[in-house]
Structure 1
Amino acid sequence: MDYKNDSCWKDVQKHLPLDNRLTSNTAPLEKFMTIGNINLHIDHYTVEKPLARIVLFHGVGGNGRLLSFIAFPLMKNGFEIICPDLPLYGCTKYSGSITYDMWVDCGVQVVNQFHRDTVPIFLFGLSAGGMLAYQVATRCSDISGIIATCILDQRNKHIRKMTARSPFIAVIGNALLSATHRIIGSLKIPMKLVANMRAIANNNDLAELLMRDKKSSGASVPLSFIHSMLNPIIDVEPECFTQCPFLLVHPENDRWTDIRLSKLFFDRLACNKELHILEGAGHFPVEAKGLKQLEEFCTEFICKHIQ
């Protein structure tokens, strides 16, 4: 399965500024990478003699193809971009059970697969992909920098309450999952019943489009995945993280993950770090001014740290 006959990502393009739109003629190369019981789909944006290589991680409401809104302009700035579809999302196929810990393992293996030469490599996570990028960086060597639109430590009960569909689900749900995930962990439920998916985009039509898409915001995930995502294994606490610089590019009008939630983790980071606000942008930042700023902030950060 690939994206050639998928309609959702093509419909999303209509909500993007012209400079950020992907067409069938400019679509990335599609390839697959086998990782255990997972056949991982990857969108690969190639350039000749790239200045840097960026592995781009989606969150629980997206997939690799939906990240074209920033992957495509970054490619035009001279960067090679790798966008994996993490298992349960996009065109990736798998067998057996899937947990969030397997997302981290997949991220590490993708980085190791593509980091085989002297081209500097950066990790960029959007939404839940922000913490994923951080976790992957702690398990990989020679990462030149991390970029995130938010970074949420789901071990924090306040963050669970603020990002769940309702505080009740956050409090009661995790307690129930802790007691039952080993028994009924394979049971799948729509992620939009757990997370505040309606706030993924400030454009209501776009949010509805994404929530209908079974490859992104409309995906169903096993209870074991939700439990492991709410109880992540953080190998290096932020106070001890000095491996590489960190850029937080947070949307100004994010109705799902307020910047104060990201700052609970970001402010603790011991590494060189920067914070920039994307003016007028929502959680899925399709707004023209914020998107242009995102491209510029990322490009400046990467060029500053490619040495």
Structure 2
Amino acid sequence: MDSYQNDRTWLKVQEYLPPHNRLEKAELPEEYYLTIDTMEIHIDHYKVASPKGRVILFHGVGGNGRMLSALALPFMRNGFEVICPDLPLYGYTHCSKNVTWQTWVSVGTEIVNHYQSTKQLPTFLFGLSAGGMLAYQTATECPQLNGLMASCILDQRNKEVTKHSAKNPYVGMAAKPALALLQTVAGHIRIPMKWIGNMKAIVNNKELAAVLIKDKKSSGARVSLAFIHTMLNPVIKTEPEDFKSCPFLLVHPAEDHWTDLKYSLLFYQRLACEKQTVILEGAGHFPIEEPGLMQLEQACVTFLESHL
């Protein structure tokens, strides 16, 4: 099966990371596939001998599981096993069906249930970018979770959120009505996600952004019109005022040029659960800069340890 062993993009990404967060040969994750429905979901599994708990990391619409290695390594080094799936349409996951946002929620839920059925451990979710809302929706389906962490949490049902998280405000305003029409007759057609999302702002380093946008397994991926339409119109079963099943940590980058903190706060401030916010100094949307990346590690590990 395909794997990251022969993939050059993730190796290129390592050059832009702080040395402490670079993935060396001795710490490479185990790669394998998990069958969910008709899909073969690629998994990066960072293992430890006697794990304190488990962290499942969800990427967003500009990444894949291997891109989360900079976050996975600190968790592993602090005694947690880490699961990084390639969500359908991204990375090396194989999927022939038409993928919608609900497919992602179902996959997230099945992943949690699979690992909990294999070995019960205190389990946490972390969502980066759009993975933040995915982690939240997965948590509403999996009440046994110990905690939820996210770099942002965007409720795309809010027109202002859609307007300001799209490639530009004009695309954001036109996207919902246009997609509502198009997806009924052409929902299976795939377009580059960069046509809709502001992929140039996924990282603050322009050279790295260019590398990622060329990568068809991450920021250069093509997604179906049905996926975009359902992502912008998610069915959220549990509103934040009713969410009390686990604590929530928001670790938002201070220099995020894609999704401003105020748009995450629209949803976050409504949460009824125990919650905490940490602002990551100097970090962009994909937080690879110091001191923000170290602050993320410290805040998340403290959160994990306190909710085991």
TM-score range (shorter-chain normalised) is over 0.9
Does 2:63 correspond to 1:62?
yes
TM-superposition CA deviations, 1:83-132 (whole Å, max 9, x none) = 00000000000112111110000000000011134410001000000000
Q: Which residue of 2 aligns with 1:293?
A: 295
2: CA distance, partners of 1:172 / 1:78: 46
2: CA distance, partners of 1:96 / 1:136: 21
How far has the Cα of 1:223 moved from its partner?
0.4
How far has the Cα of 1:37 moved from its partner?
1.8
Residue pairs, 1:221-260, within 5 angstroms:
221-260=223-262
Q: Which residue of 2 aligns with 1:108?
A: 109
2: CA distance, partners of 1:33 / 1:305: 28
How far has the Cα of 1:180 moved from its partner?
2.2
1: CA distance, partners of 2:95 / 2:110: 16
Give the residue type in structure 2 aligned to 1:68: S
Q: Which residue of 2 aligns with 1:88?
A: 89
Give the residue type in structure 2 aligned to 1:164: A
Q: Which residue of 1 aligns with 2:206?
A: 204
How far has the Cα of 1:301 moved from its partner?
0.3
How far has the Cα of 1:77 moved from its partner?
0.7
Residue pairs, 1:1-307, within 5 angstroms:
1-116=2-117, 117-306=119-308
How far has the Cα of 1:179 moved from its partner?
1.6
The aligned length equals 306
TM-superposition CA deviations, 1:179-227 (whole Å, max 9, x none) = 2212101111100010111111111111111111100000011101000
2: CA distance, partners of 1:160 / 1:141: 28
How far has the Cα of 1:41 moved from its partner?
0.2
1: CA distance, partners of 2:181 / 2:196: 17
Give the residue type in structure 2 aligned to 1:80: E
TM-score, with length taken from structure 2: 0.98
TM-superposition CA deviations, 1:226-254 (whole Å, max 9, x none) = 00100001010000100000000000000
3-state SS in 1 of match to 2:149: strand
TM-superposition CA deviations, 1:51-90 (whole Å, max 9, x none) = 1100100000000000001101210010100000000000
Give the residue type in structure 1 aligned to 2:99: I
2: CA distance, partners of 1:179 / 1:101: 19
TM-score, with length taken from structure 1: 0.98
2: CA distance, partners of 1:154 / 1:247: 20
How far has the Cα of 1:176 moved from its partner?
1.3
How far has the Cα of 1:150 moved from its partner?
0.2
2: CA distance, partners of 1:274 / 1:48: 30
Unaligned runs of 5+ in 1: none
> Which deviates further from its counterpart, 20-29 or 217-226?
20-29
**1:16–1:288 Cα contact (<8 Å) kept:** no
**2:33–2:41 Cα contact (<8 Å) kept:** yes
Unaligned runs of 5+ in 2: none
Note closer, same or farther for the CA distance 1:118–1:187 as it changes in structure 2 (3 Å cut): closer
**C-alpha RMSD of matched pairs (Å):** 0.8
2: CA distance, partners of 1:55 / 1:293: 19
